[in-house]
Amino acid sequence: MIGGLFIYNHKGEVLISRVYRDDIGRNAVDAFRVNVIHARQQVRSPVTNIARTSFFHVKRSNIWLAAVTKQNVNAAMVFEFLYKMCDVMTAYFGKISEENIKNNFVLIYELLDEILDFGYPQNSETGALKTFITQTGIKSQSKEEQSQITSQVTGQIGWRREGIKYRRNELFLDVLESVNLLMSPQGQVLSAHVSGRVVMKSYLSGMPECKFGMNDKIVIDKQGKGGEGATGQSIAIDDCTFHQCVRLSKFDAERSISFIPPDGECELMRYRTTKDIILPFRVIPLVREVGRTKLEVKVVIKSNFKPSLLAQKIEVRIPTPLNTSGVQVICMKGKAKYKASENAIVWKIKRMAGMKESQISAEIELLPTNDKKKWARPPISMNFEVPFAPSGLKVRYLKVFEPKLNYSDHDVIKWVRYIGRSGIYETRC
Amino acid sequence: MEWANQLCENRQFGSKMTDSKYFTTTKKGEIFELKAELNSDKKEKKKEAVKKVIASMTVGKDVSALFPDVVNCMQTDNLELKKLVYLYLMNYAKSQPDMAIMAVNTFVKDCEDANPLIRALAVRTMGCIRVDKITEYLCEPLRKCLKDEDPYVRKTAAVCVAKLHDINAQLVEDQGFLDTLKDLISDSNPMVVANAVAALSEIAESHPNSNLLDLNPQSINKLLTALNECTEWGQIFILDCLANYTPRDDRESQSICERVTPRLSHANSAVVLSAVKVLMKFMEMLPKDLDYYSTLLKKLAPPLVTLLSAEPELQYVALRNINLIVQKRPEILKHEMKVFFVKYNDPIYVKLEKLDIMIRLASQANIAQVLAELKEYATEVDVDFVRKAVRAIGRCAIKVEQSAERCVSTLLDLIQTKVNYVVQEAIVVIKDIFRKYPNKYESVIATLCENLDSLDEPEARAAMIWIVGEYAERIDNADELLESFLEGFHDESTQVQLQLLTAIVKLFLKKPTETQELVQQVLSLATQDSDNPDLRDRGYIYWRLLSTDPVAAKEVVLAEKPLISEETDLIEPTLLEELICHIGTLASVYHKPPSAFVEGSRGVMHKRLPARTGSGESTESPDVGTAAGGSAPEAAPSIIPSQGDLLGDLLNLDMAPPTTSGPPPPTTGMQMGGMDLLGGGLDSLMGDESEPLGGDIGGSPAMGAGFGAAPAVMPASLNAPVGGGLGDLFDLGGVGMPMGAYIPPKIVWLPAMKAKGLEISGTFARRAGVIQMELILTNKAMSVMTDFAIQFNRNSFGLAPAGPLQVLTPLGPNQTIEVSLPLSTVGPVMKMDPLNNLQVAVKNNIDVFYFSCQYPISMLFVEDGKMERQVFLATWKDIPNDNESQFQIKDCHLNSDAASSKLQGSNIFTIAKRTVEGQDMLYMSIKLSNGIWVLAELRVQAGNSNYTISLKCRAPEVSQCVFQCYEAVLKN
């Protein structure tokens, strides 16, 4: 299991050091600093073995988090734990920065004591932790409160406490998708997938039993056999994963998504689709080398969705060679700039409706070099945001039942929003 | 500490007051000040002080002096303060065990507290204090807490049992905690179950045969029920534990799989991977024609693909595991090639792993896409990645025959880029393509030859030379090309030298007329001017072959080569099976069994996949771990391969292991068989090939002949095998008590600089008739060294290790180990220069290192070396005077008797003594382990510290060495 956990600043100075196992000594702290943080080469692996001690690290801005062990631990678990640790810290004091860590070191030690026991991760749901690890220090609880805390921390519904009350029962569902594309210069889709998340923000009283439904092909087809007749389109989900509140065995058996949600925000599910993806934009590149010192670039983008919808925050990034000396750009729409520090032409368009087309052309002057190596021609990448789900996913219902309290599904105010963003959306040129 | 000071300034300038201020220091008298604050009456001040102490502790300062003062703050109802004090205690209790006792009372009291959080805190902390006296006090509270009414306390107590077991295993067993822990598996609270499982699994690891977990269908059922209810971490503990179970039959296996599959949809990647592990393992037991089997296979692919959308670090872990899964069950992911395409922004470690998997998945169906991708990658920035991509193209060609042509043309395109490392990498793989598809793509050779000059890496140069040699008949100027390499022969690496040697011999066999000179040149370069034993051996072999039977040479050198395999880098099947049982863990990331990187008893247990069994039969061995666990610890270190393998391994030559069974041949001529082989060979070579060689190697055949004459004179009785103690017995009373044999002091043979941190020093000794090489191995590197093995090159007296190098424990950094290696004299023979030179190869987990050392020939002097007087006289006369050599030993102050007894200690026997005109004449005989006799006459003049020694021997080469021994023995 995890033998120790260290947090370093960018210089390699220790901010937090907590050792859980006897086989980890203080020298482990230095070994990681010397071999990884101060290493001359770029880090080639997130797992490093130094003298039979294994170090797992993740980096958040300038901060290094390292877990240390001498045993054959579950590596995936260690990384999941490190991410969780970051989440918990962020939930408590915001951004993970050197200053915040120093300002909260007592709290962090307290958290580390609670969520990792002898190197075994324990309940690390912020909802539960916040009930008894408080920054205010002393909090005298009544006996009932105490047992409530402990039963929540260890309980089956560790993510939600009892007795929550809201005057207005309300819930928000965000379907957030990132669409990823890799396209060849000839316009052939090399790979495309959507990774989506359903984020739920709920303000519901009591212990509400929820059921979530979407246009999952498997479910719709099943119902279709029943004679109801499927309405609208259904989508094929390659794979999905759920928040721990969702009853997985029920999903496995009936493909129904039922759960008692944590209070506040949670990521209910993640999914991935690869079939019938609506690609919101197409990028058509044209790069011509004119002699050794000049490049002509023409890029056309075409929007491919309903004309009534508006895409926002569109940004096209056209890489330029390292020996670029000057760039002249002409674009019909938006603004384009050559950013020498980023070796790219960045073309920004605030809004663009569906079924439109826009074009940019640029002349790139090159310095003559005798560098033998050819320019690698990185792909043209694109960023955007569209108000629909590129996977075609639709929320069909989210039903809420709370048998003990007297509010019904109809009383709950529900909001659904779809946002499609670009993930890695690249076209090779 | 710099930042602490900066913060101090910030505070002075009135920035906001936060916890970071505790990191400030007021250098002098700091401890004193803190002490005062800790003893302050004001609660707030106390707390502040403790915070400062913890901050100092974090940055590595020693604040143990404050121990009693901090412990005094323990009695408080402020939970935050209490936790800080506990944190301090956990850190320093071990260094202050006596004072730690002060804390016991508070712990015991806290364990009775009304607040379950405090009870749990106390028991959790107590388990972390590794002081014997405290652990004694821990037992009672722990017993209570294990049965506490509150699940939070129970789940904490369960882990505490594992902590206590780590400190004092016996105590845990004696107190019966293990049984209580087992009971907790049936607890009503899922988290208690999960922690109990985790604790038991850990304890079971150090007792491989205890069957502690006692997994049976009932307990498995309990675990599967808890699986649905506990936290994500608990699910991991339970799944990892389940993976150790072996179901009774395929039905049980299937029902467990059915209950585990829902976990594949968990958001936590570790839960998914652990579930995959259980499924991969239990699937082994399912019949392949079962419907469920194929359903399961289909279910495994999507979650594995989903893992690739996790954070990069997890992707890396997932990819390393997918690499194993693809090797074990390629069908699972065969349609998922696209998801392994590299993204421009992937971290390099993800890119390299994806590339590996792409090659494994490449097939006829997807090869076009794969190739297009690989070509794209070959233009990226990262050199390692580009190289791997280029190599991957070659591997595709070898794997998918239909694509070979396209691959070759892609590689040619890449060669046109003239990017140095791309060209080199391409040439290396093209060589393999030639081997896989002979006589198909040779048209590209011309293009390759154009790039000859740009190759600066040994591997690429060697590959190119191989190509030139292999296709010499098609390359018009092959001789010129190879000759150009020959100019800098000595600066090339061994790999290139060996390849060049072979290539030129091939060329010679193909175009004998115009390349005779070239082949002679390379043979003499290889055999005479090189220090490398491999090269010389290979040179001699070719030489002999060419000179004795050119037809045979052709058959050997130009033999049809076996086809190279399609899959490279495959993990060996038994290791793969073991690694599949470790999916998700570090072992699966390193692709090494846990025993390779875990110290001590933990993880040495070898896991293996279950065998498939029908429903009717039941497996006899209940637990996978226990079955293999028993013998594993002993088996682990014996990785040292047998001598024969090692020889091939180290010296890279397919020589047969030294098989000398039965007594050594009775004549010295035969004893030096190796030399005879060379001598004879060279004789004939000189005769019919070339004159200039004769002079250079003339020494050997002459020597061979010299030995050949010897046996006629030698009395038969003297040819007894080495080490017969008979002569010893007879002579004991002869010339006083023999002193111990002379042992030269140890010197450094292999400096750490030359051997990646391994330093070897040593000496040779002869003890009780056994020759020993006494070595001191020192690890001056940062990492642990293991898997030591040693091998000698052929040498003048056939010295060879009589057993493996006994370095059983890994050698840690800065550790030193002394080993003595018994030597035999029945190894292969080859004359060395100097005669007593020994070339040694030592291998460890890092590399193979070569060094040479010289041994004192005195260790070869056998115990039955005392000659009969008459025989001595006759032999002395018989040996021609040309073979006599005289030496002076200066500054020796021993009298003749002392000298004689000293020499006898080293098996130099005085046969007679004569005194002529105040000068003592000592006649001595020596017998070497290979049967060579050396006769000596030592003249000692009273009052003169200079001795004169005359040596007579049929093999006069040894005289110099023998003289050195006299000098060494007499002067020490």
A47 beta partners: A56
Rounded to whole angstroms, the Cα distance separating B586 from A54 reads 8
Using a CB-CB distance cutoff of 8 angstroms, which residues of chain A are in contact with residue B128? 20, 118
Residues 116-135 of B with CB under 8 A from A: 116-117, 120, 124, 127-128, 130
Q: Which residues contact B587 (CB under 8 A, 6 or more apart)?
A: A72, B578, B579, B593, B594, B597, B603
Interface touch A137/B80, C-beta < 8 Å: yes
> Is A176 near chain B, with CB under 8 Å?
no
Interface touch A240/B373, C-beta < 8 Å: no
What's the token pair of residue A31?
């070994």
Q: Are B744 and A11 in contact (CB under 8 A)?
A: no
Q: Are A108 and A93 in contact (CB under 8 A)?
A: no
What are residue A302's phi and psi, to 5 degrees? -125, 130
User: First and final CA of chain B: distance in angstroms?
Assistant: 57
Alpha helices, H only, B243-366:
250-260, 269-283, 291-306, 312-328, 348-361
Q: Are A84 and B611 in contact (CB under 8 A)?
A: no
What's the token pair of residue A300?
């056309």
pLDDT, averaged in runs of 10, over chain B (972 residues): 42 47 62 84 84 86 86 81 88 83 85 88 89 84 92 93 91 90 90 93 80 82 88 94 90 92 93 95 90 92 92 96 94 90 90 93 90 88 90 90 89 87 90 86 84 86 90 85 86 89 90 86 87 89 87 85 74 91 94 86 65 50 38 37 36 38 40 38 38 37 37 40 40 44 81 82 84 86 82 85 81 83 84 84 83 85 83 81 82 80 84 80 85 84 80 83 83 76
Reduced to 3 states (helix: H, G, I; strand: E, B; else coil), residue B837 is strand
Q: What's the rounded mean pLDDT across residues A108-137?
A: 85
Interface touch B267/A244, C-beta < 8 Å: yes
Which of B153, B314, B344 has its CB closest to that of A79?
Answer: B314
> Is A221 near chain B, with CB under 8 Å?
no
Q: Kindly identify which residue of chain A lies nearest to residue B593, measuring between CA atoms.
A: A72
Q: According to the annotation, is A294 in a ligand binding site?
A: no
> Is B805 near chain A, with CB under 8 Å?
no
Q: Closest Cα partner for B483 from B462, B461, B504, B457?
A: B504
Q: How much of chain B is helix, strand and coil, in % rounded to 5?
A: 55, 10, 35
Q: Are A179 and A390 in contact (CB under 8 A)?
A: yes
Interface touch B588/A22, C-beta < 8 Å: no
Q: Closest Cα partner for B192 from B224, B150, B239?
A: B150
Rounded to whole angstroms, the Cα distance separating A331 from A334 reads 7
Rounded to whole angstroms, the Cα distance separating A55 from B593 reads 17
Rounded to whole angstroms, the Cα distance separating B600 from A244 reads 36
> Is A158 near chain B, with CB under 8 Å?
yes
Q: What is the 3-state secondary structure (H, E, C) of B21-54?
A: HHHCCCCCCHHHHHHHHHCCCCHHHHHHHHHHHH
Q: What is the pLDDT of residues A353-401, one digit of tens each?
A: 999 999 999 999 988 877 656 677 888 999 999 999 999 999 999 999 9
Q: According to the annotation, is A335 in a ligand binding site?
A: yes
Rounded to whole angstroms, the Cα distance separating B423 from B451 reads 8
Interface touch B262/A248, C-beta < 8 Å: yes
Q: What is the mean pLDDT of chain A?
A: 88
Rounded to whole angstroms, the Cα distance separating A387 from B798 reads 83
Q: Where are the beta strands (DSSP E) in B717-769?
A: 747-750, 758-767
Q: Are B378 and B393 in contact (CB under 8 A)?
A: yes
Q: According to the annotation, is A313 in a ligand binding site?
A: no
b/e per residue, B2-15, with b = 16+ CB within 10 A?
A: ebbeebeebeeeee
Interface touch B266/A244, C-beta < 8 Å: yes
Interface touch A193/B339, C-beta < 8 Å: yes
Handedness of CA B963, B965, B966, B970 (dihedral sign): positive
From B167's Cα to the closest Cα of chain A, the distance in A is 9
Reduced to 3 states (helix: H, G, I; strand: E, B; else coil), residue B542 is helix
Rounded to 10 degrees, the C-alpha dihedral B893/B896/B898/B902 comes to 100
Q: Closest Cα partner for A10 from A39, A50, A37, A46?
A: A37
pLDDT higher at A270 or B669: A270
The residue assigned the tokens 């086989």 is A23
Rounded to whole angstroms, the Cα distance separating A219 from A255 reads 7
> Is B228 near chain A, with CB under 8 Å?
yes
pLDDT score of A232: 62
Q: Where are the beta strands (DSSP E) in A83-168?
A: 116-117, 120-121
Q: Are B823 and B773 in contact (CB under 8 A)?
A: yes
Interface touch A79/B269, C-beta < 8 Å: yes
> Is B52 near chain A, with CB under 8 Å?
no
Question: Amino acid identity of B821?
Answer: L
Looking at residue B563, the DSSP 8-state letter turns out to be P
pLDDT higher at A198 or B903: A198
From B337's Cα to the closest Cα of chain A, the distance in A is 10
Q: Are A71 and B603 in contact (CB under 8 A)?
A: yes
Whole-model pTM: value is: 0.68
Q: Closest Cα partner for B557 from B513, B496, B508, B626?
A: B508
Rounded to whole angstroms, the Cα distance separating B36 from B24 reads 17
pLDDT score of B18: 60
pLDDT score of B629: 37
Q: According to the annotation, is A337 in a ligand binding site?
A: yes
From B2's Cα to the closest Cα of chain A, the distance in A is 9
Query: What percent of chain A clears pLDDT 70, i.e. is strictly above it?
Result: 95
Which of B18, B80, B317 has its CB closest to that of A76?
Answer: B317
Interface touch A243/B344, C-beta < 8 Å: no
Q: Kindly identify which residue of chain A lies nearest to residue B233, measuring between CA atoms.
A: A121
Using a CB-CB distance cutoff of 8 angstroms, which residues of chain A are in contact with residue B83? 109-110, 113
Residues in chain B, total:
972
Reduced to 3 states (helix: H, G, I; strand: E, B; else coil), residue B124 is helix
From A247's Cα to the closest Cα of chain B, the distance in A is 8
Q: Closest Cα partner for B874 from B911, B929, B831?
A: B911
Q: What is the pLDDT of residues B405-435, one digit of tens each?
A: 889 988 998 888 888 889 999 999 998 888 8
From B588's Cα to the closest Cα of chain A, the distance in A is 9
Q: Where are the beta strands (DSSP E) in A367-427?
A: 380-386, 395-401, 413-427
Helix (H) or strand (E) holding A190: strand A189-203
Handedness of CA B381, B385, B391, B393 (dihedral sign): negative
Looking at residue B419, the DSSP 8-state letter turns out to be -
Rounded to whole angstroms, the Cα distance separating A281 from A311 reads 10
Handedness of CA B448, B450, B452, B454 (dihedral sign): negative
Interface touch A239/B302, C-beta < 8 Å: yes
Rounded to whole angstroms, the Cα distance separating B39 from A238 reads 64
Rounded to whole angstroms, the Cα distance separating B21 from B49 reads 11
Residues 269-328 of A with CB under 8 A from B: 269-270, 272
Using a CB-CB distance cutoff of 8 angstroms, which residues of chain A are in contact with residue B341? 182, 190-191
Interface touch A26/B60, C-beta < 8 Å: yes
> Is B8 near chain A, with CB under 8 Å?
no
pLDDT score of A371: 63
> Is B64 near chain A, with CB under 8 Å?
no
From B269's Cα to the closest Cα of chain A, the distance in A is 7
> Is B945 near chain A, with CB under 8 Å?
no
